[in-house]
A and B are shown apart, each in its own frame.
Chain A
């Protein structure tokens, strides 16, 4: 009887030491807390509003070829884009117009012969209020110029705040990256 309770007590005390070891091991092992605002780890599969993909040569330019496929396919009609018209005849006009609008343009213009110029994207506005997040625009884009952003901080007081000018957003992000 005494031996039994004694051995029980000793094994109990041993279990206390084992418990202390468990907490000590956990004390030393790395933390699993994510320091949320400073460290975000779970946005890989997140589908936010769409954004423009920067082109490979110039991060301030979009890959968009202004084909308007996205505008046509959007069930909520929330995308509106404007593009400069491809000019057919007057070659000197071409070189003039881009130089006033953009500095990086002339190179691509030189390559393109006067008969077939690419339309230049001038604005790409998304009215996120009407977006149903179907993703058809992303799927239909022939040049891969659209993707889902990981922008989770979408809250505002007015509807106007959710009308995004995606082209200027792209340029702003590119500037920020350079800095």
Chain B
């Protein structure tokens, strides 16, 4: 049964992708219906799959030779990732029915989204590293193609290429790690590797650990490779909500959490993970504080929240990181989709032009505020519980300096969230007006997600059981939902964090009175506006690559004789190496 459901979760979206593409752009009504139907069916299959999770290999297909076996493992982490991909995916598709109504090339749009949903579910469920890499690259391709969906817009095309190149850097890390694991354990099975990790030479394990860390950093848009995510905001908003907030960017955190038991004892690894999480959490929050584009602001916020998850893995709170991943994908999808509703109706992304929109669209305002509550981490919203859990774990097991940094990040989060809400929905009226509130299909997905914000934290206990029951190599500390909530409410760390959050609120409320402080911080905000120079770093890399290639270009004479000299020379070198080895 589990096998059948897993194949459905991966296969249904892919069949849907073919159907939507095949039905053609002349029947957009059918495209909407088919895409919605297939994605909702996949979502249902993935939810059913939750009941069948286990730690063993459920499906094994020998591919033969070097490629090893294709396996599917329905363990807690994987099923959970598949559920998020399929459920949030189906909500994003439902949202698209209104968002993309009357747009051109719907076939390409829906086919890529459905392909992505299937690949993301496969990434989570695959038990073989090599096939996980294949799914990983399919998601990267879909992300690239959907960022560049408006392919007559040069900015969108550039953003897509950037995302593709940067995430490829991570893909190389993953592939190298997978190949080294193959050479050490004889196959690509994740379970075998986790069982034998202790017997691998420390220096080689080191290489694998940092290769996977590079993969996670690139995929989850962490410092210093975070620059692709803000530029990915050229994608249609449902795509952003699905790929760049709720699912694909989580793959990096998932990878770290999945292999945490193997890499826990690698010297320096945990510290690097904590440092990367801290830097991303803080720097991205500062950048969100000065961004004026609503989607860009949310993108920085995503980087910052992903930083929290990475930090949690580094401090050993794997459960907290996965729990925050769940909360984040619900509330950030909600925030992005409601921002998409605003953009769809108002026609601009610049928050300076908005203002006072709350009166025209009370529904969107309500759901946006709900999402913000969770982002900030106020009680009763799911973000509160997961973020407090991370901070508590960090205080107990992590270094003190990192904890203080993350606490500061929580305050800045409160500040920029309040700024965003007030700039868009409150204040006095801006230059743009909203003609109507969100239409029906948008309301369905927004309503479902905002319900999720209030309810997913109730699943903490069940989620913990799911993970502990099916992950033999992780040592997780979980407890029942009620105990967890009680424990959090009794912990002094929670109240400290709430205090910092209130301080962050106060900072924005009084920003008019605090003029001198703001003037004092002017240089910092200017640096933040310049994205802390990471863009210059990218430009530098591009310049070096260009000049190197113009040097190497001289070897390409285009003359046959020289090419043959090269071939003969290469042959000579190979022969020499062979004789030398023998």
**A and B part of one assembly:** no
Contact surface of B with A, Cβ cutoff 8 Å = none
